[in-house]
Structure 1
């Protein structure tokens, strides 16, 4: 059995190889040329579209569909309080 704990903070060999494999896959995919023609409108949108914070996405989600359970209601109350305190 492989555990996360190892003496002197070393990674177990199996975990090292898994991380290595994932990095190798990522590097391989970064070198693949996309077979589709570039669409200037889509490319422009992706380069200029706003990037929303996690809080902004949370707000948009709750504005679209209100909180449905106690956990969501608590999250909404906390977020609302945080935003009111900033103003």
Structure 2
């Protein structure tokens, strides 16, 4: 029987490349579509470490977009703000 207080996050985390991400340039609609299709609550926003060679090296996480961010935007646009 495992002690949950001693179990490290690495035992249950989602590993790369199974993490669904979005980029700084991707549209909000596309990010919302990914959130819905993959049934997740948020997406890490990434950018390549090497802008000139995005296929090289691990991407850098620069933020996240959530269902709440998207819902707030939807309400603001609907209310004409």
Q: Tell me if both proteins adopt one fold, taking TM over 0.5 as the criterion.
A: no
* Superposition TM-score, scaled by structure 1 size: 0.27
Structure number with higher relative contact order (C-alpha < 8 Å, ≥ 6 residues apart): 2
Specify which structure has the higher proportion of helix. Answer: 1
Calculate the TM-score normalised by the size of structure 2.
Answer: 0.28
- Higher strand fraction (1 or 2): 2
